[in-house]
Structure 1
Amino acid sequence: MGESLVIQETRATRKQWDVEFTSHPEEVAMLRRVVALRLAAWGLPELVDTARLCVSELVSNVLTHVGIGTPGLLVVSVNGADLRIEVHDPDTRALPAVVLADADAEGGRGMTLVDALADRWGVQLHEHHKVTWCELATGAAPPGDSTGHPSVTRAEALLDLYATLRPPKCSYESGPGRVGRMVAEESAIDAITDFLRWFRAHGCDVEEALDRAQTRYDAEPDGVGGGWSRASSA
């Protein structure tokens, strides 16, 4: 009974966890071990093997392309239904990429493996450092999850199509399956902008259309509507 309560409390308090490291081959094995322990404590043993591989490749990428002795930061967190793994390093020029390595090549498969294992991955560039990240689905829906709502399903299908008709300007975003989250957000903004232009081109009242859309959104009975307000979000 006591052990079960501890496990439930641990799963409910999956606070972001991070550890600094210096890129050396022996550090890779250490980081693999501590990530495995962290995920076990969080009640995510089914993700241990995949997460350890992703950590190995992301950290090894720093070791290989930035250099031995490079200071780095590993950050692990749970965002909604996803486990997020980030590796921070100070080099904004050496950008990771998927490379089709020869069958007998000893290296070059790092990000290709991450691309195959993760649900999505990408790179965020900052002024003095970059963040290479990947996300793994935990299989659990977050509280108040509404991703299965018909409206959300229709929107995802439209965004997948829209991204092919008008590729967004986002860079450094990749991942198998559906378009990455950042790309989808950019596509959604493009789609909203185009629809507003369509309303105006056909002599419709844009403000009235937005008000009607907000009214329908707020009236959703199952929590999909979030009380969004154009005034409060401006």
Structure 2
Amino acid sequence: MHTFSVTESQPRRCVFPFAAEASQVAGLRQAVRAELALWGMSALADEAQLIVTELASNVVKHVGQGSVATLVLDAGPNQLRMELHDKSGKEPQHLHPACDEESGRGLLILGALSTTWGTVRTTAGKAVWCELPLALDETRRRIQRATTVMEAYGPAVGSPAAWLPDRAVLEESVTSLILDVLHWLTAQGLDPDDILDRAQTHFEAEAV
């Protein structure tokens, strides 16, 4: 995978060609984090990496293993725009949140993290794009922190990373983490039920 920035008139635009394979996706995540650090946007790195993984994994599943694709990062004054181009004209389906289809989870993540997103037809196929605000709100900060925790938790218990495109892996990893926290709370002499009730109350209030 090669990385290059375009002309000085657009110093914060970068293009990452890659093949839709697991090893390439891992390298793509690292390249995105490194580029955002150079741009002074490290605060967006966790969210950007999560979105990139979902979009690239969708290409692996629905376009084909090894398919040629391109990620474009374009930083404006108020947002970071991310575009993933592939050679398939098939647009992502809008699936119900309860659906078990992996592509549905990717769309939910886009909706939760980005201010806006969509798809556009290109001469070669399509591009899925989204925009991340440079200023994070509280919901995005919570998602970012949870992503950081799950990145560390998966390897700690010998499980794949929680963001892999497998709903069963995601649910098992999160359930295990919550179970560990409940045991920890009990060991600290705290009431797990009380903590869960308080967390649910805060979650419902923030979701309004």
TM-score, normalization: structure 1? 0.50
1:117: how far off? 0.9
Q: C-alpha separation between the residues in 2 aligned to 1:27 and 1:101?
A: 28
Q: C-alpha separation between the residues in 1 aligned to 2:126 and 2:34?
A: 26
Q: C-alpha separation between the residues in 2 aligned to 1:43 and 1:98?
A: 34
Alignment partner of 1:135 out of 97, 114, 131: 131
Alignment partner of 1:33 out of 30, 33, 39: 30
SS in 2 for 1:31: helix
1:37: how far off? 0.6
Q: Determine if contact 1:14/1:42 at 8 Å carries over to the other structure.
A: no
Q: C-alpha separation between the residues in 1 aligned to 2:65 and 2:57?
A: 10
Give the match for residue 70 of structure 1.
Answer: 67
Q: C-alpha separation between the residues in 2 aligned to 1:26 and 1:64?
A: 15
Q: Determine if contact 2:21/2:66 at 8 Å carries over to the other structure.
A: yes
Q: Is 1:80 aligned to 2:77, yes or no?
A: yes
Q: Determine if contact 1:72/1:88 at 8 Å carries over to the other structure.
A: yes
Q: Percent identity?
A: 35
Q: Determine if contact 1:122/1:134 at 8 Å carries over to the other structure.
A: yes
Q: C-alpha separation between the residues in 1 aligned to 2:10 and 2:40?
A: 11
User: CA deviation digits over 1:38-86, x for unaligned, max 9?
Assistant: 1111101110111111111111111111111110011101123110111
Give the match for residue 118 of structure 2.
Answer: 122
* 1:61-210 equivalence runs, <5 A: 61-92=58-89, 94-102=90-98, 105=100, 107=102, 108-139=104-135
Residue type at the aligned position of 2:112: A
Give the match for residue 18 of structure 2.
Answer: 21
Q: How large is the RMSD of aligned CA atoms in angstroms?
A: 2.2
Q: Determine if contact 1:24/1:68 at 8 Å carries over to the other structure.
A: yes
Count of matched residue pairs? 127
5+ long unaligned stretches in structure 2: 1-8, 137-208
User: CA deviation digits over 1:76-126, x for unaligned, max 9?
Assistant: 01123110111010111x2113322547x4723111111111111011102
Q: C-alpha separation between the residues in 2 aligned to 1:82 and 1:101?
A: 26
5+ long unaligned stretches in structure 1: 1-11, 141-234
Residue type at the aligned position of 2:66: G
Residue type at the aligned position of 2:26: A
